[in-house]
């Protein structure tokens, strides 16, 4: 079975972390975030992966090539121009001739995609969306499910057929707390609705067109961790969830002087925190340096960035 990982985004809201790497290559617990969705797909039975790329695609291609050492068959398809989420997958229509999986490569995903496949097969849908439940859906696109492809929305359902979408609703207008997790099971008949050589998105374009045409879309709330890595603090939230606490994580070569204090933070390769410094809820890019006695709170340092001795930064982002 084919799996497609969409990894073409630039990740501007993560800058300066994405100044020198594509968003899916931002590391978390020693691995690029794209590896989490790759592993979820492999667990679901995918044996042939295609990664669609755009910004800094050469970096992603080099990483995807390393998967072969673990027996993973994978390749990269680079877009000459941005085609949107559905448009980028449509470019692969010649090889996607049977049921396939699609996932976003710039989020943390340990979701049960095997359950998603089973629900897809049970419903006979043309496309099935993986869903997660959130406390506050006002920052997301929400999904309303019905018991059949013609039923009204029932906000208590956690599996069924998609009957309605709404983008970032006000709290009083939210008919569901289920949101699109960016993982899909798709049949070729659904992909055929995407116009060729056209910029086209799943959520904005394809899903409404399918509902209007009466083509069934199923949905299932999935078990597992899911984080949309849109902002730097989402990386720290994901790290805490994966670690089971707010410990700091040091990537290879990172160092913290014994007299320094580092809490709930992420230090990338070869980052350094000197004597007496304090780093709280912050991210330090590769080779970033925090000198003696400096204080960082809720900050993001890009690769090679430097904080001088005794300097204090709060809610700041600094590039090299």
Mean pLDDT of the chain: 93
β-bridge partners, 51: 5, 76
Report pLDDT for 5: 96
Whether pLDDT at 318 is above 80: yes
Q: H helices then E strands: how many in the chain?
A: 7, 26
Report pLDDT for 25: 93
Report pLDDT for 297: 98
Scanning 153-285, the segments in alpha helix (DSSP H) are: 188-191, 207-213, 232-243
H or E element: which one contains 263? strand 261-263
Please compute the mean of the pLDDT values over residues 213-233 and round it to a whole number: 92
Report pLDDT for 138: 83
Contacts of 254 (CB under 8 A, 6+ apart): 267, 268, 269, 270, 271, 272, 284
Whether pLDDT at 55 is above 90: no
Alpha carbon distance 270, 279 (integer Å): 16
β-bridge partners, 272: 255, 289
From residue 192, how far is each of 58, 68, 150, 168, 207 by CA, in Å? 29, 31, 23, 28, 13
User: In this predicted model, what pLDDT tens digit does every residue of 32-41 receive, in sequence order?
Assistant: 999 999 999 9
Whether pLDDT at 106 is above 80: yes
Whether pLDDT at 256 is above 90: yes
Please compute the mean of the pLDDT values over residues 242-252 and round it to a whole number: 94
pTM: 0.91
Please compute the mean of the pLDDT values over residues 86-105 and round it to a whole number: 95
Alpha carbon distance 132, 144 (integer Å): 12
User: In this predicted model, what pLDDT tens digit does every residue of 126-156 receive, in sequence order?
Assistant: 999 999 999 888 888 899 999 999 999 998 9
Report pLDDT for 71: 87
Whether pLDDT at 68 is above 90: no
User: In this predicted model, what pLDDT tens digit does every residue of 272-314 receive, in sequence order?
Assistant: 999 999 999 999 999 999 999 999 999 999 999 999 999 999 9
């Amino acid at each position: 079975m084919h799996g497609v990982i969409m990894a073409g985004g630039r990740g501007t809201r993560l800058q300066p972390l994405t100044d020198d790497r594509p968003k899916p290559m931002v590391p978390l617990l020693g691995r690029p975030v794209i590896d989490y969705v790759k592993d979820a797909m492999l667990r679901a039975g995918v044996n042939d992966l295609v990664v669609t790329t755009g910004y800094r695609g050469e970096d992603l291609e080099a990483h995807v090539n390393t998967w072969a050492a673990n027996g993973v068959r994978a390749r990269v398809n680079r877009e000459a121009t941005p085609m949107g989420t559905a448009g980028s997958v449509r470019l692969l229509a010649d090889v996607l001739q049977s049921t396939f999986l699609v996932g976003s490569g710039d989020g943390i995903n340990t979701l049960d995609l095997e359950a998603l496949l089973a629900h897809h097969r049970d419903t006979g849908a043309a496309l099935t969306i993986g869903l997660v439940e959130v406390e506050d859906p006002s920052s997301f696109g929400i999904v309303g499910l019905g018991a059949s492809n013609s039923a009204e929305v029932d906000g208590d359902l956690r599996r069924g057929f998609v009957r309605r979408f709404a983008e970032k609703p006000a709290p009083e207008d939210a008919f569901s707390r289920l949101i699109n997790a960016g993982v899909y099971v798709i049949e070729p008949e659904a992909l055929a609705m995407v116009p060729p050589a056209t910029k086209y998105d799943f959520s904005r374009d394809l899903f409404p067109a399918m509902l209007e045409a009466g083509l069934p879309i199923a949905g299932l709330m999935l078990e597992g961790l899911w984080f949309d890595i849109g902002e730097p603090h989402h990386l720290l939230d994901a790290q805490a969830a994966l670690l089971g606490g707010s410990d700091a994580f040091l990537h290879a070569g990172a160092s913290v002087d014994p007299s320094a204090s580092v809490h709930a933070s992420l230090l990338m390769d070869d980052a350094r925190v000197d004597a007496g410094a304090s780093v709280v809820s912050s991210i330090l890019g590769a080779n970033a340096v925090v000198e003696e006695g400096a204080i960082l709170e809720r900050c993001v340092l890009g690769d090679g960035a430097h904080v001088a001795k005794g300097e204090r930064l709060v809610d700041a982002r600094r590039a090299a």
